[in-house]
Amino acid sequence: MAVTTSIHGMWSSRLAFILAATGSAVGLGNVWRFPYTTGEYGGGAFVLVYLLCVAGIGIPIMMAEVMLGRRGRQSPINTMRMLAKAEGRHPAWQLLGWMGIVAGFLILSFYSVVAGWTLAYVFRAAGGAFTGASAESIAAQFGTFIGDPERLLAWHTIFMVMCVLVVARGVASGLERSVRVLMPALFVLLFILVAYSATNGYFAQALEYMFRPDFSKLGTAGVLSAMGQAFFSLSLGMGAIMIYGSYLSSQASIGRNVVIIAGMDTLVAILAGLAIFPIVFASGLTPQLGSGMVFKVLPIAFGQMAFGQVFGTLFFVLLVFAAWTSAISLLEPVVAWLVENRGFSRVRASVLAGIAAWLLGILSLLSLNVWSGVTVFGLGFMDLFEFVAANVLLPLGGLLIAVFAGWVLSRAASTDELDTGRKAYAIWRFLVRYLAPVAVAVVLASAVGLLKALGLE
């Protein structure tokens, strides 16, 4: 019989789950990572592949993840062990949970560093640092900032403490209210920014850049990166959505909720692109601005628009909140596991996990300045962690989740969880059994081929 509650607590309502999962999905991935990776791979073709991945791979895998979590009602490791046992399969399926923990630490470590940039930029915007500044001086400001390890460390530390505080108290309390108010506020502000960019930037050029696919610039690396971005942005493949699903009541409809969450996440990413690219072109910049893109581009607009100081401050505040509600979902799976298997208190588990991610984050932070010469496979630590987590571990985790939900879990179990219509169920089952695993496997395999060709293997 299905377990109906989790020892870690439950969402107070269906809305609470939607808010929490949207809070997890919408974050730096949409506003910071989507625009800069789009710029790296030439625009339209990348966006198209990303959208296809969200619809054909991301949504069915997100449904699978919520479903598995709700059936297991434990941390991803124990959920996978229990479900595999219930289906008479090998306990090795729990390795999926372990892989998720590794991915979670890698992501949280650099995520907190970038969230720290966002925190710092709240104060810069408020202090009027961008008012009337040229694109060059804004880029120079950013360069000086990330060149200073002590500053980065201070902000990274503050952000990690913020995350530990929330997770220690339990994800449900506090989260609901902040997402309910702040997420709509972020939407409104993004709309204002898009309106500004539409009237003051090169909007037509940006639209063409984002929506006219030019596949010559994409390549295997671009396809891999677009797929990785879909996983990253939807918080898939490492157990975050699984654990959030484990706190969801057995009555809620998984399909409908997942479509809403994925839709909102995608909308925020597109809006962020529409806010940023018109300014990129109007300022005579190229889209290959790298991971500093948002911090180099939006301040130009804040420096020129009416009430720019107010909008700029508000924007970075909201981005901090979006990052915060995402980061806590990266910490939750490992904390739940420490509570279940090690008998730790929530507080102790959160502090320990936070310290581990914080230490790992220092590697990322130093790779931006002091250790900029230290590379592994040609990448500094931050780029390496980002690449391995987003483009390898998350897709691999997602692939295994799809295979488990489509092939291992009995049909009776998945029909029971997904009380969608017959047609919707049939589509989901096809996607999760065939399309998603095959597509992910093909992309990963061709990426390995690419590495071989580069002689890196």
d(CA 440, CA 112): 28
Q: What does the per-residue mask of binding to ligand TRP show for 210-249, with x meaning CB under 6 A? A: ----------------------xx-x--x-x---------
Pick the binder of ligand TRP from 28, 368, 405, 440 (CB under 6 A): 28
- How many residues touch ligand TRP under the rule CB under 6 A: the total is 16
Q: Tell me the β-bridge partners of 376.
A: 379
What separation, in Å, do the N-terminal and C-terminal C-alpha atoms of the chain show? 46
Q: What does the per-residue mask of binding to ligand TRP show for 71-90, with x meaning CB under 6 A? A: --------------------
The set of residues, in sequence order, having a beta carbon less than 8 Å from that of 235 and lying 6+ positions away, is: 21, 24, 25, 241, 326, 329
At 30, list the tokens: 């949409």
Pick the binder of ligand TRP from 22, 75, 225, 329 (CB under 6 A): 329
d(CA 161, CA 351): 9
For residues 29 and 245, which CB has a smaller minimum distance to ligand TRP in the complex? 29
Nearest approach, Cβ of residue 304 and ligand TRP (Å): 28
Q: Which among 76-84, 142-150, 326-334, 371-379 is the span making contact with ligand TRP, rule CB under 6 A?
A: 326-334
Residue with the shortest CB distance to ligand TRP: 29
Pick the binder of ligand TRP from 175, 274, 330, 436 (CB under 6 A): 330
For residues 109 and 309, which CB has a smaller minimum distance to ligand TRP in the complex? 109
The set of residues, in sequence order, having a beta carbon less than 8 Å from that of 186 and lying 6+ positions away, is: 26, 268, 318, 319, 321, 322
For residues 24 and 37, which CB has a smaller minimum distance to ligand TRP in the complex? 24
Pick the binder of ligand TRP from 11, 17, 20, 24 (CB under 6 A): 24
Nearest approach, Cβ of residue 54 and ligand TRP (Å): 12
Closest CA to 241 of 427, 72, 91, 90: 72
Pick the binder of ligand TRP from 25, 182, 189, 336 (CB under 6 A): 25
For residues 79 and 235, which CB has a smaller minimum distance to ligand TRP in the complex? 235
For residues 94 and 112, which CB has a smaller minimum distance to ligand TRP in the complex? 112
Establish if 116 lies at the interface with ligand TRP (CB under 6 A): no
Judged by phi (left if over 0) then psi (alpha if -120 to 50, else beta), residue 378 lies in left
Nearest approach, Cβ of residue 240 and ligand TRP (Å): 4
CB contact burial 386-421 (16+ within 10 A = b; e otherwise): bbbbbbbbbbbbbbbbbbbbbebbeeebbeebbebe
Closest CA to 299 of 111, 127, 115, 155: 127
Nearest approach, Cβ of residue 179 and ligand TRP (Å): 13
Q: What does the per-residue mask of binding to ligand TRP show for 344-383, with x meaning CB under 6 A? A: ----------------------------------------
Cα 230 versus chain centre, distance? 8
Q: Which residue carries 């999760």 as its tokens?
A: 432
Cα 406 versus chain centre, distance? 24
Q: What DSSP assignment string belongs to 349-389? A: HHHHHHHHHHHHHHHHHHHTTTTTT--BTTB-HHHHHHIII
Nearest approach, Cβ of residue 257 and ligand TRP (Å): 16
Nearest approach, Cβ of residue 269 and ligand TRP (Å): 8
Rounded to a whole number of angstroms, the CA Rg of the chain reads 21
d(CA 295, CA 116): 12
For residues 114 and 194, which CB has a smaller minimum distance to ligand TRP in the complex? 114
Nearest approach, Cβ of residue 170 and ligand TRP (Å): 17
Nearest approach, Cβ of residue 247 and ligand TRP (Å): 15
Q: How many CB atoms lie within 10 A of CB 442?
A: 11
Nearest approach, Cβ of residue 250 and ligand TRP (Å): 24
Pick the binder of ligand TRP from 11, 16, 29, 197 (CB under 6 A): 29
For residues 207 and 259, which CB has a smaller minimum distance to ligand TRP in the complex? 259
Q: Which among 22-30, 112-120, 187-195, 251-259 is the span making contact with ligand TRP, rule CB under 6 A?
A: 22-30
Closest CA to 171 of 318, 63, 10, 14: 10
Sites of contact with ligand TRP (CB under 6 A): 24-25, 27-30, 107, 232-233, 235, 238, 240, 326, 329-330, 394
